[in-house]
Amino acid sequence: MADRAALEEAVRLQGERVRGLKQQKAGADLIEEEVSKLLKLKAELGPDEGKQKFVLKTPKGTRDYSPKQMAVREKVFDVIISCFKRHGAEVIDTPVFELKETLTGKYGEDSKLIYDLKDQGGELLALRYDLTVPFARYLAMNKLTNIKRYHIAKVYRRDNPAMTRGRYREFYQCDFDIAGQFDPMIPDAECLKIICEILSALQLGDFQIKVNDRRILDGMFNICGVPDSKFRTICSSVDKLDKMSWEDVKNEMVEEKGLAPEVADHIGAYVKQHGGVSLVDQLLQDPKLSQNKQALEGLGDLKLLFEYLTLFGITEKISFDLSLARGLDYYTGVIYEAVLLQTPARQGEEPLGVGSVAAGGRYDGLVGMFDPKGRKVPCVGLSIGVERIFSIVEQRMEASEEKVRTTETQVLVAAAQKKLLEERLKLVAELWDRGIKAEILYKRNPKLLTQLQYCEETGIPLVAIIGEQELKDGVVKLRSVASREEVDVRKENLVEEIRRQTSQHPFHLLN
């Protein structure tokens, strides 16, 4: 054992020597010689079979969720799902992995973030990157031309995670999509209304939805002199304007992507503009842009969209923003992204965006990519960024030190004396059978104080107490944990009384 310890120390010292030489930029021959010595020492040391090699941790970019965190999640999901259902959506599910060729070529520069899986018996597979491409595959495979659906599931991206800001490698997406041939902008307007309803219901603070159209972007690139072959890659650069300055984005376009500086300056003059329907009217009069067929179609549709958004009463939340690009390749028309706004520091300043919490757009060509005959099914949809929403809600709850209930138990069945386990078990079974959420402590003779403390710790609002006298009288003592008031209730009326009292104090979380 002593010999092994000496060897381990020699390996450690030699490792430090090699690192030191590398830092000092020593000669290659000397470094090679010292590395060779280190490898010999390691070979001599051999593996330590008795030593535990693995570290207990979740993989990079993933996390576990505690009961408290899951309670927050469930409430957020309830708000989202109830909104999707209110708008008449059906629900589907698809496999967590797809054939690699299904996903390849749909995400532009983000394709490098797809998780490939090892060959499993002749099929090259990859974990799904989003829920939109699997949905398009589902439509084409089942020859569907008309569906309004929602889908909530995990997706996977080989990204560099920033977990404090709600960015992960494994995360949930909540998607709502309308597929089918309909009159222009009616489904698109409903998607924007849904985003407004969900973000308002979650009470996350003020928000703004940026809107643009891929056809306007493409028309703009065309008149500015961007070569056709560079449209998508320049679009990807413009999409970074919410995270980078114009100078940095211009530098990327010119230095990395080979765009002429004067072309980049032309783009800059357009993408810095944002406003409402008046900006649409202004661009319709633009001498260059109004001559481009694609841009003209996009501007015409946006004008119509603003009419419908006015009828829905949500135009104050919408901003037509020419810098919005959405980097994904499959968008063909209207695109949008919702951002939460920080309160401005000084009066007169514009509110600052603190990150995207929802996004989407129109993708009329994606289903046709999968159909053998290339038949297109027009689609428009949205995705709610629930991970960022969870992070915001969790941070706020921690800051307010608000206690979060992790169960929905309405009543604890307790005993005031010993030897009443059988009676407790009978009563709790009756309550379960009648649909009451009830618990007991798993002890034969728990102290009454212990049972009451358990209710206070877990937030259970009521205690149904049985004792020998109550059993004789055919009653149960129902105690409010908060007010400590007690009332004798006939056993046959107990369920009704529990429902009455807990309906006054429902299970709340996001108030």
C-alpha span between 222 and 229 (Å, rounded): 11
Per-residue pLDDT for 1 more than 70? no
Per-residue pLDDT for 303 more than 90? yes
Report residue 511's pLDDT band, with 50, 70 and 90 as the boundaries: very low
Q: If you average pLDDT over residues 110-127, what whole number do you get?
A: 86
Helix (H) or strand (E) holding 44: helix 28-45
Report residue 48's pLDDT band, with 50, 70 and 90 as the boundaries: low
List, for residues 331-341, the tens digit of each pLDDT value: 999 999 999 98
Per-residue pLDDT for 168 more than 90? no
Question: 177 a known binding residue?
Answer: yes
Q: If you average pLDDT over residues 286-299, what whole number do you get?
A: 92
List, for residues 409-447, the tens digit of each pLDDT value: 999 999 999 999 999 999 999 999 999 999 999 999 999
Per-residue pLDDT for 30 more than 50? yes
Domains and CATH numbers, the chain: 1-45 (1.10.287.10), 62-205+361-405 (3.30.930.10), 207-340 (3.30.930.10), 411-504 (3.40.50.800)
One-letter amino acid of 277: V
* Cβ pair 211, 176 in contact under 8 A: no
Q: What is the edge-to-edge ordering of all strands in the sheet holding 486-490?
A: 438-439, 411-415, 462-466, 475-480, 486-490
Q: Among 16-20, 63-67, 81-85, 367-371, name the most confident range.
A: 81-85
Report residue 156's pLDDT band, with 50, 70 and 90 as the boundaries: very high
Please give the residue that has the higher pLDDT: either 4 or 363.
Answer: 363
- What pLDDT sits at residue 401? 76
Q: If you average pLDDT over residues 469-486, what whole number do you get?
A: 95
Per-residue pLDDT for 287 more than 60? yes
Per-residue pLDDT for 295 more than 70? yes
Report residue 46's pLDDT band, with 50, 70 and 90 as the boundaries: confident
Question: 78 a known binding residue?
Answer: no
Per-residue pLDDT for 53 more than 70? no
Per-residue pLDDT for 346 more than 80? no
Question: 132 a known binding residue?
Answer: yes
- What pLDDT sits at residue 55? 84
Question: 321 a known binding residue?
Answer: no
* Cβ pair 337, 359 in contact under 8 A: yes
What the block records as the tokens of 254 is 């010119």
Q: Which residues pair with 320 in a beta bridge?
A: 211, 275
- What pLDDT sits at residue 122? 82
Q: What is the dihedral of CA 232, 238, 240, 241, to 10 degrees?
A: -170
Question: 329 a known binding residue?
Answer: no
Mean pLDDT for all residues in the chain: 89
Question: 331 a known binding residue?
Answer: yes
Least trusted range by pLDDT, from 66-70, 115-119, 293-297, 318-322: 115-119
Which segments of 416-467 does DSSP mark as H helices, in order? 421-433, 448-458
Q: If you average pLDDT over residues 299-312, what whole number do you get?
A: 97
Residue position matching structure tokens 């409402």: 276
- What pLDDT sits at residue 167? 73
Question: 281 a known binding residue?
Answer: no
Question: 168 a known binding residue?
Answer: no
One-letter amino acid of 140: A
Please give the residue that has the higher pLDDT: either 72 or 395.
Answer: 72
Question: 103 a known binding residue?
Answer: no
- What pLDDT sits at residue 106? 79
pTM of the model: 0.81
- What pLDDT sits at residue 348? 54
C-alpha span between 143 and 150 (Å, rounded): 18
Please give the residue that has the higher pLDDT: either 309 or 263.
Answer: 309
Report residue 510's pLDDT band, with 50, 70 and 90 as the boundaries: very low
Percent of the chain with pLDDT over 90: 57
